Amino acid sequence: MLATSETRPSSLRRASGDAAELLVSVRDLGEARVAASGGVNILDFKEPSRGALAACDPSVWKSAVSEFVGEAPADRTVRLSAALGESETGPELSSHVPPEFSFAKVGPSGCSTAPKLTGLWESIRLPQPVELVPVAYADHIAAGAMSAEGVLNAVIETGRHRLLIDTFGKDGRTLTDHMTIDRLRSLLCVASEHSVWIALAGSLRLREMRSLGTAGVRPNCWGVRGDVCDQRDRTGQMDLRKVTAWRRAIGSPAN
């Protein structure tokens, strides 16, 4: 049975005038501190040198809890997210995610059918109340995965609440090289009808984010890594000025 807006948490709904959230992917505590000082809403821990959603060492997750949850000042409170890698690593790593995290996400590579994809989601054993965020790849053929539309449909049919659309290949191409504005608008429309929170990522630049917003592509959350690093190199050093520029551009309040 399809989930309705009445069965979805009200926190997932975004009113038309609400600002989107900002997610920044970080590899360690040093980068996390920079991103947090820039006012991000979600710190997403992953290792960018090893792929789209490669996990960092679980010890980093534990350290992040101590710094950003336990004794963190109220004005630095952010939500924490963990990347679990792809289908072959996600199930094993999922049990190591600290319960203080808000989210974890796993890549759908190799899951070319809905049963394979939902089977992957069911194999992820996260502690309560950590929420699994399903992922769709804009360049899904390269990942041997379902299209974004197929993944969104599976999200709706299984009663899940969130979806991240990213790119599998980190080869200089961005989300908009793989998906048209009309297609993105259509996906967001369907997601909104079913109260599914959507984050858009995929090597986006600030100017592309602004253009998408002007064209009516307004997700609940924007995800970024490379564009807030030196030389737009996703494996480079994080730049506080660039993080702040993203936050100001989307009007995202610090949580």
Query: Amino acid letter at 162?
Result: R
Angstrom distance (rounded) from CA 145 to CA 30: 33
In this model, does residue 104 exceed pLDDT 90?
yes
Residue pair 117/151 in contact (Cβ under 8 Å)? The answer is yes
Question: CA dist 148 to 32, 66, 106, 234, Å?
Answer: 29, 35, 15, 23
189-209 CB burial, b ≥16 within 10 A, e <16: eebbebbbbbbbbbbbebebb
Burial (0-12, 13-18, 19+ Cβ within 10 Å), 6? exposed
- Is residue 17 very low, low, confident or very high in pLDDT (cuts 50, 70, 90)? low
In this model, does residue 110 exceed pLDDT 90?
yes
Mean per-residue pLDDT for 110-117?
A: 97
Share of the chain above pLDDT 90, in %: 84
Angstrom distance (rounded) from CA 239 to CA 26: 11
- Is residue 251 very low, low, confident or very high in pLDDT (cuts 50, 70, 90)? confident
Burial (0-12, 13-18, 19+ Cβ within 10 Å), 131? middle
In this model, does residue 16 exceed pLDDT 80?
no
Mean per-residue pLDDT for 63-75?
A: 75
Measured between its terminal Cα atoms, the distance across the chain in Å is: 34
Angle 18-139-210 (CA atoms, 0-180°, nearest 5)?
30
Q: Measuring CA to CA, which residue among 95, 127, 128, 91 is closest to residue 107?
A: 91
Tens-place pLDDT, residues 152-198: 999 999 999 999 999 999 888 999 999 999 999 999 999 999 999 99
Q: Range with the lowest mean pLDDT among 12-16, 64-68, 103-107? A: 12-16
Q: At what angle do helices 240-250 and 206-214 cross, to 10 degrees?
A: 0
Q: Measuring CA to CA, which residue among 99, 34, 68 is closest to residue 247?
A: 34
Q: Measuring CA to CA, which residue among 57, 70, 82, 67 is closest to residue 30?
A: 67
CA torsion through residues 197, 200, 206, 211, sign: negative
What pLDDT does residue 76 have? 52
Q: Between 228 and 231, name the one with better pLDDT.
A: 228
